[in-house]
Amino acid sequence: MSYVKVWADHEQLNKNEINKLKKDGLSIFEDIPKYARDGFESIPKDQYMYFKYAGLTVQKPQDKGLFMMRVKIPTGILNAEQAEVLAEIGHDYGRDILDITTRQSIQYHWVPLEKLPEIFDLLKKVDLTTSEAEGDAPRNVVGNPLAGIDRDELFDTRPTVNEIYRFFQDNPDFSNLPRKYKISINANIYNAGHAEINDLAFTPASKVVDGKKVLGFHVKVGGGLAAKPYLAEQLNVFVAKDQVRNVASAVTTLYRDYGYRKSRARARLKYLVADWGIRKFEEKVLELTGPLPSAGKDETVGWNGGFFFGAHPQKQDGLNYVGISVPVGRISSGDFSKIAGLAKQYGSGELRTVNSQNLIIPNIPDRALNDLLAEDIFKKFPVHPTPFTGYAMACTGNEFCNLALTNTKDKMEEIAARLDREVDLDVPVRIYMVGCTNSCGQRHIADIGIQGLKLRTQKGELVDAYEIFVGGTLTGGGHFNERLKGRIAASLISDVLKDFLLYFKKEKEKGETFFTFKNRLGTEKLQTVLDDILKAATSERE
Amino acid sequence: MELYRLIASTEEGEIPIVAAAESEAEAFRIADREIQHHYLKKPKITDIALIQRKSIGKNGAGYLIRPRESYE
Ligand code: SF4
């Protein structure tokens, strides 16, 4: 161990912290083969938390010996072999289902304990890992899914992502952080890395140094959603590419040594940043990094929501990428394997995962593009998805999450399909659904967020219901969506949203986005619109 | 046992309620009971919503009750 745990003698450490001092999270990998041999009953309950560091969560019901398992994919780039192994794992160990997550990772369910050693071997052979995909450690490094091939990137971030991923991965100096820790590295000028909702984000920037324009990054710290959302704030520094590791190490060291370990509810970096203020945080960073130039020119020009559908030319002449819609991120291993096969047949074999829970096949030569697009699989996973299904996202929901109050993925798909049939718009509307107030599915930054709850109606029935939130974005530094009053029973939600969006269609200007529309009309006006729709919908039912 | 956070909507505004219960249905029953106990003249309740659940572990569980922010 090359550092001193300065918090070790703090008086009020939470229980997890006391455990983590006794045993480092990463040591779970030494125990798993034994548990896999001896069965689920051999695992003491107090060891469950350590499985997180291996990217594993005990799945409910907790006595079946099944796990949710997450595999990291830095900036979403997979080679052909890796994609094939991920499909194989889904088929052999994960009941045929893969979920693409909002951090570009792949997540499985129902993974049996006794198979974990085999799975780890398979992953290791292709340089993939589940390690620190969960737990109080650096999570998957997210970034531009088009890194290296993007006409809208300031420069290729693949080397930087790789450097930072390798630096932190399984590094014992950073495996005991106060809480989860999310890094984003992106140089796409449309904020493909969702900078503001990460603990540490590197965003595209330039600066004139000694008369020469240098490309590099600006840095944002302390973002995160969940129940207490916070948008990351910018440090007044310009970071050249060769300084990224230095800065990432400094920020993470500050978090490790000063982040709060008394209550897990206040342990994310955002609480430390909020308490210190951004200027003090910056001073502390500079104490560790040494002097850095002040911020230069911000090169971010907008936000694309992380959507890259359709076929588009790459920055390499003659090559194209194809963005594919995977509704709510769920795909069978057979279909994943087919898409990986097409990537090999028509492209370089590379496949990319997107934080909007979709896929990209890169490196398709011009001459092969039409043949690829004519493949049958794109009837199921379209490259030009219908606008609602293509732009919908959902968290795990009550299928696997103990905190969920409602279903999410099925319900979201059902609503989106209905809206696609009945509402024809000239702009996409991003609708994200979550099953509780924790908002894992990035509900806060959706055009329309839908949050699940249980409702008892006036007639005394207990039903699934939802609240809606309007006007979220990461454009211009970000804005969280705002709740409209009124709880909408599951049986009414698609009717209500349909009418709400038909109102948007009727009143909007040509090309106007939902976010601009909401700002033009104001939340109060939209509230009266919803009130009227709800009144009409309820009286129709009565 | 879980700790549930509920909100009763009335014409005068929202009433936060917390209930420790074994099930969602029971949480609603507890909410009813507490409303009955509390008011001399019961307000007109338009609906009751359960918006959060937490399991009550060895260290207990709790909610901080305050008006919700617009993004919550
Ligand atoms: S938002 Fe709630 S229901 Fe959805 S995955 Fe997160 S904790 Fe579970």
Distance in angstroms (rounded) separating the CA atoms of residues A81 and A59: 28
Residues 385-404, chain A, touching B (beta carbon < 8 A): 402-403
* DSSP letters for A137-205: SB---EE-TTTTT-TTBSS--HHHHHHHHHHHTT-GGGS--SS-B-EEE--BTT-TT-GGGSSEEEEEE
Of A187-196, A246-255, A412-421, B36-45, minimum mean pLDDT range = B36-45
Residues from chain A that touch B72, judged by Cβ atoms under 8 A, are 227, 437, 483
Predicted confidence at residue B69, as pLDDT, reads: 86
Interchain CB contact of B9 with A (< 8 Å): yes
State if residue A107 touches ligand 1 by the CB under 6 angstroms criterion. no
Using the structure block, give the residue that is written with the tokens 């995160």.
A224
Residue A374: pLDDT over 80 = yes
What residue ranges do the domains of chain A occupy? Answer: 15-125, 146-298, 310-380, 392-541
Structure confidence at residue A333 as a pLDDT band (50, 70, 90): very high
| CATH code 2.30.130.10 for A15-125 | no
Cβ of A140 closer than 6 Å to ligand 1, yes or no, is no
The ligand 1 atom at the shortest distance from the C-alpha of residue A402 is: 8
Arithmetic mean of pLDDT, A388-398: 91
Classify domain A392-541 by CATH number.
3.30.413.10
Neighbours of A528 (CB within 10 A): 11
With an 8 Å Cβ cutoff, is A457 touching chain B?
yes
pLDDT in tens, A452-500: 999 987 788 899 999 999 999 999 989 999 999 999 999 999 999 999 9
pLDDT value, residue A265: 85
The class (CATH top level) of A146-298 is: alpha beta
Question: Which range, of A38-42, A106-110, A304-308, A440-444, averages the lowest pLDDT?
Answer: A440-444
A464 sits in the region (left: phi over 0; alpha: psi -120 to 50; else beta) called beta
Asked whether the predicted pLDDT for residue A359 surpasses 80, the reply is yes
User: Residue A397: CB within 6 Å of ligand 1?
Assistant: yes
Question: Do A146-298 and A392-541 agree at the fold level?
Answer: yes
Domain boundary assignment for chain B = 2-55
Q: What integer pLDDT is reported at residue A1 of this predicted model?
A: 53
CATH number of A310-380: 3.30.70.3340
Chain B closest-CA separation from residue A65 CA (Å): 20
Instruction: Judge if the beta carbon of residue A450 lies within 6 A of ligand 1.
Output: no
| CA A450/CA A433 separation, integer angstroms | 5
Cα of A520 to nearest chain B Cα, Å: 18
Percentage of residues in chain A with pLDDT exceeding 90?
90
Query: Mean pLDDT throughout A357-379?
Result: 98
Contact A227, B68 (CB under 8 A): no
Chain B: nearest CA to A445, how far in angstroms?
A: 10
Q: Is A249 in the pocket of ligand 1 (CB under 6 A)?
A: no
How would residue A541 be classed by pLDDT, with cut points 50, 70 and 90? Answer: low
Task: Please give the pLDDT value at position A63.
Answer: 75
Is there a contact between A483 and B49 if contact means CB atoms under 8 Å apart?
no
Burial of B29 (0-12, 13-18, 19+ CB in 10 A): middle
Mean pLDDT of chain B: 91
CB A305 within 8 A of CB A442: no
In which band, very low, low, confident or very high, does the pLDDT at B40 lie, cut at 50, 70 and 90? confident
pLDDT for A157-197, tens place per residue? 999 999 999 999 999 999 999 999 999 999 999 999 999 99
Instruction: Supply the pTM of this predicted model.
Output: 0.92
In angstroms, the CA A293 to CA A535 distance is 58
Q: Which three-class secondary structure state does DSSP give residue B4?
A: strand
